[in-house]
Structure 1
Amino acid sequence: MGQSTHRSDGGVLPAEVTTFVGRRHELGEARKLLSSSRLVTLTGPGGVGKTRLALRIAAQARRAFPDGVVLVELAEVRSAELVPHAVALALGFRDEPSGWTAETLAERLAQRHLLLVLDNCEHLIVPCALLVRRILAHDPEVHVLTTSREAMKIGGEHTYAVPPLPVPTWEVGSRAADLVRYDGVQLFLDRARARLPGFVMTETNAPHVAQICQRLDGIPLAIELAADRVRALPVEQINARLSSRLRLLTTGDRSASARHQTLLASIAWSYDLCAKPEQLLWARLSVFPSSFVVSTVESVCAGSGLAADDVVDLLTDLVEKSILVREDDAGPEARYRMLGAIREFGHDRLVESGDLHAVRERLVEWCSRLATGYREGWFGPGQREWSDRLRTEHQTVASALRFALDGREPAQAMSIASDLNLYWVTAGLMSEGRHWLRRGVEESEPGTPGRATAQRWLAYFSFYLGDVGVVPRLLADARAELGPTPSPADLAYLYFVEGMAALTDSDPHGAQAPLDEALRLFALCDEVVGRAHVLLGYGVTRWLCGDLASAQDLLLECLFLTGQHVESTLHSSALMNLGMVIWDAGEAAAAEAMVLEALRLKVNDEEELGQAMCLDALAWFSVADDPRRGATLAGCAEAAWRRSGSSIESVGALRKFRDASLEQLRARLPGPVLASLMAAGAELSPTQARDYAMRVQDGGDGQKDQAEMFLPLTKREWQVAQRVAEGLGNRQIAGRLAISPRTVDAHVAHILEKLAFGSRTQVAAWVIERLRGARA
């Protein structure tokens, strides 16, 4: 028959010839299922360790089964009719004169109390399911544990998806002591020492071991095959050669079944078990470098033999066959992903099919639509949703940009990268944005559509990243691209970038003329995003030029404009900058309240650049009264600047405040104390830094002063009034404070009545005056 079987009389299972590593959680969960269900199926991709886990579970559960544990290995069984024969042989039953069937086997198992382990059922899933269903119905004391790349889908079945082993992420340091606690690393070390006695993970090779385990997605078979290479290659070279997992990992345990001797053979086994449409979708899904959703797959993978209406069913089939993994914490819309080696196998099939170029083109087109939607929808109430979506799709966007440029389509790449200009800034990815824009500009000819816009944003990012010298040339080239009659909006943006770049100088007066012209031009066109940007930048410029009153007017106008559109990022920046202006005017308490609220919004929006600026400002505010707090906040700010990819040096006129605060700290704190406090601040996460900065708001003596500040309003009415001053409508206030719009309506009516005001503008003026008059 060709099958390989093992009899396990009295619970004797094949001896383990290598160390069993990790899986404590999985063992516990699977044993719980087995204690409450008579049929448990362990599912997962090839090489993830289903068989090994099943054998360990069976060994631990042996005492619960008086008639023992029986293992049936089905990998080499090729015929559905031979499945009952394989089980009978493993059980030690003699031949039936009429041959073994599900019915005769079930009859012979009557009165037996045992655990039947069916290993590798995926290629015979239907006959296995029919057999198991018959046994469960006829033999109440028989329990079944199966391993398969897909579930049997029969009544009473409980499935458990075996995950890859835990491996380090990029956040883990390179120290060996940090890495050995990961099961994936432990497995690599165990197998490497078996092949090369004396192998040691040192501080030098530890990062390479960690990256090997990461790149192999924690798949035990892949890790074992990589560890097998240590006899011939140092781990540094193994890591370097893992750019193709499948080509490197081509040898293994010769005593294992053929499909488990190499990772390639294991994945090919799964591929051969898929129907043609499933194989086609598997290949096309390989263009996604990370997770994806159904609608994206329908846009990118459908066509040329694959109907969009079939995508959902095919995705479900691939999940059930352990080709795809559904992410549990993906939110309301299901997201799916492939393990790296499975994706690489699919890519090879896509190349063989000749569809690679067409699928990549559809991915670029999808990304172009996404970027356009982001540009059009970002400035409004959907801003957070758009930002979250772009962060989730980041790797796919990067792949699409690379495909466009490699496919000699720089216009598409420049359009996408330009439309995402605010994403690159707010996500702290300006260096990456500049990379794509620069490639697009360098690889395109003059006159290419979108080239002027790309040059403009390239100049903007260069200014923020400290490369100011290239800005004049880029702006001049962009102006030349626009021709003799540029639109007011295009011209306004050029003046805006020119003005912002001028702020790098210690004398900000040079920024006034271009920003003033940009503001005038934006007033001629319906471009609220550009106008909000200029109001923000011009407000800072007027402040740095010493005109505090004009600065406040510009920033208040920005607050009202952004509040009217329910926008958050520029709104919080205006609030932050207004706080700095008020602080410079000597109104410390009001300034701190504004900047703390801005910081809260920046952390909520995950905007690194804004967090850095808020924390720096709060550090300046604290130096005089609490130098230790100021030093800690300065450390928080330094870490935030690093995460943002920018520096306060990009606005030279602001350096004087940072430099003055550091000079005061050095004068008031001993050097080691200052260094320790700043280092402690730098260790805080964004959320921890926010909480540290905002602790002055919690209890203490400050509460009495705050209560006096908002009389005759209640505390909640004061909170509503502050949001009114920020320019928010009632529904937006309700969202911010997590209360109903009807409650906000009532609060606003009470505020107007108590203050004897007739408009929201009067309320806003009253709030700002109160904040100005507050004293620490």
Structure 2
Amino acid sequence: MTNFVGRRHELAAVRNALSTSRLVTLTGVGGVGKTRLAMRAARKLDRAFSDGVWVVQLAELGDAALIPHTMAAALGVDERSTREPLQVLVDHVRDRHLLLVVDNCEHLVEPCAFVINTLLRSAPDLRVLATSRHVLGVAGEQALWVPPLPVPERDARFPASKGAPQYEALTLFTDRVSAVVPGFTITEENWADVVQIGRRLDGIPLALELAAPYLRVLSPHELVARLDDWFRLRGKDHPALLPRHQTLRSVMDWSFELCSEQEQALWARLSVFAGSFDLEAVETVCAGSDVDDGLTGDAMVKLLAGLVEKSVLLREQHGDEVRFRLLETLRQYGEGRLEDSGQEQIFQTRHRDHYLSLAERTEAEWFGPDQMLKLARLRREHSNLQAALDYGLATSDHAHAGLRMVGILAFYWMSGGTAEGRYWLERAVARDTGPTRERVRALWADALIALWQGDVRAIDDLCEKCRTLAGELGDESGLMHARAVEGMASFFQGDLARASALGEETTTRQRALGELNLLVLLRAPLVMATAFQGNLERAISLAQEAIDISRAHGESYNYSFMQQAYAVALWGEGAPNPGRCRQGMTYLAESLRIKQAFAEIPGTLGGIEYLAWFLVASGNEAKAARLFGFVRRAWEKEQELFLFGSELYFAIHDRCAVQARQSLGDEVYEDELSRGAELTLSQAVAYALGEKPDSPSHAPASTEAASPLTRRERQVAELAAQGLSNKQIAVALVIAQRTAEGHIENILSKLNLTSRSQLVAWFHRH
């Protein structure tokens, strides 16, 4: 990442604007640095928001319907719910004090405005910092125009003294040039030429960055001459653009012309990628025999290096992996060039096919070792997967490939983003209605993910359609998958006999077909149904077989589900004996570590709940009560997701909760519940596992539990105790001064105090 230069006044303006307005939009021409300014402001404001600063990137998003899903992913919200994604978002931010940075809204202005307005109306402590070339038009929005960087007057003299004015455009240009020409500085000799470069490029940061690498082979004077010639020749090519838009467009034209023909072709073709991409993708998508232009895979490394050197392409390091990215302004320019070439559809199809192939390879290798690495790879490619699906489902000509891809990704949607997965599945099923095995797969995948969401009402219809079509096509695998999903649904609806019958039937078929992935995953409800019908030994045998299969293949995702199923099954005959308690707790501890590594929130919460049952059975009621408190608070936010449909779970929970309350007494039990409700997810997992949490968990909880102040009021009290005025508190917390004054009044009233000096004494006592 290059250095951030200047913008001191703009950063102050952003901070001040956010203290008085809940929505601030940074506007300005493309390439002026809106995103960099927003990211810098966000980093500086992080400590002012108790629930943090969160960034949502929309540049690569083409489908407005995915805005809530994208925001949810950025905020770490699990969407495993049947509720509307926007409502899930609203519930998540409602009581939080956070700053949401929404970058690149200009191509989705109206839907962005609707979503942001909905969130702001529902969450009084939410602030939004947006970037867009156009204002959003939301009531209360404060638009801040981001100007180009200051440049000197044409006849400005060389600043001989240290106290002379500093010009940010020249500082940025010097910084970028020195990265490619070590030791470069502005001298009295080159001053006039550097000033002319800054003025010719209107102080636009992106234009300056594109020009800087050419000082590797040109002197400042030579660069001025070439820019003057180019702008005279091409300055009238874009008469409809405003002057500064003309400047950037002309600089991009100039940069494009200075590329070799192969670099130009690659720049245009790279525009089909959304977000970042790796070398393998570039070689597969951008080189090929169907376009005769000499762009071979062997040439790609040299061409990519050339575009990086010219500041067209950004190089990013992700662990051991190198990835590349086009800035959105340069991607849009390349997209226009690709359209002009008439080859846009060729390379969009290649892009889709590459990511379809990636999905196919990952699915084929999924039931085996390194699952977390495979999942991380797909998550890095999420924007490209979205773009490939969007292109595949945009027209009926490509819909079959889109249908195939979304069905293959069923395991990906199950491991996170279930609401988005159902969006794509339902869109695909509606677009391609032909009687194919791909449609069968999409139907049972949709049913399975509906089950993951707790949407049991949708499952019967989806499974019936799947079974009917599978029967017509003779698709034994598809038929078996539909029956397996129905068996799972039966268990969660409390029909243990049907769940057992379907589970036994599909287990036999899965084993015959070699479907090991779903054999293990869908074995879980059969194990629990068998145990709760009184056949514990059979249940343990079924569970152990599935666990052994996972271990033999080095698989961990489904293995963690079976560990939890095994542990729950041990309650089939009532509270387990001490030996089985130890066994169940061992499995649950291991499954929790796996769930946390996969960032699989519902499974993590379920594991904590089950572990609390065993803690009660083993006599550690206090720890169990604290975990119950955490789980209750967590699932109150997620509403219907946990324990959906199964009275069996509720019965065990209630028995354990009653036993813990009786053992501890009402006061201690309620205190432990309150302490648990204050834990974060990582702290709760660490506490459950007996490990040291990331930060102290129960000290703040006990302090806040005993305090009548809200979290926000306690922040205000702390700043007041440090001697800050109401105005200073407002600036520190990015709130209006009148809001700070209101908090002080509320605090004094709650604590029955009459002065700030009394508040200071109270704070230091508590």
TM-score by length of 1: 0.58
Aligned equivalent of 1:273, options 255, 260, 276 = 255
> 2:40 aligns to what?
166
> 2:576 aligns to what?
585
8 Å CA contact 1:267, 1:342 repeated in 2: no
CA distance in 2, matches of 1:361, 1:452: 24
Higher RCO structure (Cα 8 Å, ≥6 apart): 2
Aligned equivalent of 2:671, options 644, 665, 673 = 673
CA distance 1:599–1:413, change in 2 (3 Å) = same
> 2:306 aligns to what?
317
> 1:413 aligns to what?
402
> 1:382 aligns to what?
370
> 1:53 aligns to what?
none
CA-to-partner distance for each residue in 1:414-439, whole Å, 9 max, x for gaps?
2112212112112x222111111111
> 2:741 aligns to what?
none
CA distance 1:163–1:333, change in 2 (3 Å) = farther
Aligned equivalent of 1:600, options 593, 600, 610 = 593
CA distance 1:165–1:602, change in 2 (3 Å) = closer
CA distance in 1, matches of 2:640, 2:303: 41
> 1:125 aligns to what?
none
CA-to-partner distance for each residue in 1:189-219, whole Å, 9 max, x for gaps?
xxxxxxxxxxxxxx99x99985355769xxx
> 2:474 aligns to what?
486
2:341 is equivalent to residue 353 of structure 1:
yes
- 1:521 is displaced (CA, Å) by 1.6
Specify the SS of the correspondent of 1:591: helix
> 2:187 aligns to what?
none
The aligned runs of 1:554-569 (5 Å cut-off) are 554-569=542-557
- 1:344 is displaced (CA, Å) by 3.0
> 2:390 aligns to what?
402
The aligned runs of 1:468-479 (5 Å cut-off) are 468-479=456-467
> 1:453 aligns to what?
441
8 Å CA contact 1:609, 1:644 repeated in 2: no
CA distance in 1, matches of 2:451, 2:604: 19
Mind listing any 5+ residue stretches in structure 1 that lack a counterpart? Answer: 1-15, 23-44, 50-161, 182-202, 217-222, 243-247, 699-776
Specify the SS of the correspondent of 1:334: strand
8 Å CA contact 2:51, 2:98 repeated in 1: no
CA distance in 1, matches of 2:509, 2:549: 17
8 Å CA contact 1:410, 1:443 repeated in 2: yes
Report the identity percentage. 26
8 Å CA contact 2:268, 2:338 repeated in 1: yes
CA distance in 2, matches of 1:253, 1:697: 51
> 1:294 aligns to what?
279
8 Å CA contact 1:568, 1:601 repeated in 2: yes
CA distance 1:17–1:293, change in 2 (3 Å) = closer
Matched residue type, 1:593:
T
Aligned equivalent of 1:574, options 537, 562, 572 = 562
> Which one has the largest radius of gyration?
1
CA distance in 2, matches of 1:533, 1:439: 26
- 1:234 is displaced (CA, Å) by 6.5
CA distance in 2, matches of 1:207, 1:400: 36
CA-to-partner distance for each residue in 1:499-545, whole Å, 9 max, x for gaps?
00112213422211111111122232222223223433311221232
Matched residue type, 1:412:
A
Aligned equivalent of 2:651, options 656, 677, 686 = 656
CA distance 1:503–1:236, change in 2 (3 Å) = farther
CA distance in 2, matches of 1:506, 1:489: 26
2:268 is equivalent to residue 283 of structure 1:
yes
Matched residue type, 1:273:
S
CA distance in 1, matches of 2:493, 2:129: 57
Specify the SS of the correspondent of 2:9: coil
Q: Which moved more, 1:521-530 or 1:429-438?
A: 521-530
- 1:458 is displaced (CA, Å) by 0.8
CA distance 1:214–1:440, change in 2 (3 Å) = closer
CA distance in 1, matches of 2:278, 2:272: 13
Specify the SS of the correspondent of 2:324: strand
CA distance in 1, matches of 2:524, 2:7: 68
CA distance in 2, matches of 1:508, 1:458: 23
Specify the SS of the correspondent of 1:648: coil
Aligned equivalent of 1:684, options 681, 685, 690 = 681
2:319 is equivalent to residue 334 of structure 1:
no
CA distance in 1, matches of 2:40, 2:7: 23
> 2:607 aligns to what?
614
Matched residue type, 1:541:
A
CA distance in 2, matches of 1:269, 1:210: 33
CA distance 1:176–1:593, change in 2 (3 Å) = closer
CA distance 1:224–1:208, change in 2 (3 Å) = closer
- 1:498 is displaced (CA, Å) by 0.9
CA distance in 2, matches of 1:524, 1:227: 56
CA distance 1:322–1:313, change in 2 (3 Å) = same
CA distance 1:229–1:553, change in 2 (3 Å) = closer
CA distance 1:664–1:547, change in 2 (3 Å) = same
CA distance 1:429–1:545, change in 2 (3 Å) = farther
Mind listing any 5+ residue stretches in structure 2 that lack a counterpart? Answer: 1-5, 13-29, 56-92, 107-127, 154-198, 205-242, 694-766
- 1:666 is displaced (CA, Å) by 6.4
8 Å CA contact 2:550, 2:558 repeated in 1: yes
TM-score by length of 2: 0.58
> 1:58 aligns to what?
none
- 1:318 is displaced (CA, Å) by 1.8
Matched residue type, 1:318:
L
CA distance 1:387–1:272, change in 2 (3 Å) = same
CA distance in 2, matches of 1:402, 1:163: 31
> 1:61 aligns to what?
none
Please tell me the root mean square deviation across aligned C-alpha atoms, in Å.
4.4
8 Å CA contact 2:437, 2:473 repeated in 1: no
> 1:633 aligns to what?
627
8 Å CA contact 2:463, 2:483 repeated in 1: no
CA distance 1:591–1:619, change in 2 (3 Å) = same
Matched residue type, 2:627:
L
CA distance in 2, matches of 1:355, 1:384: 37
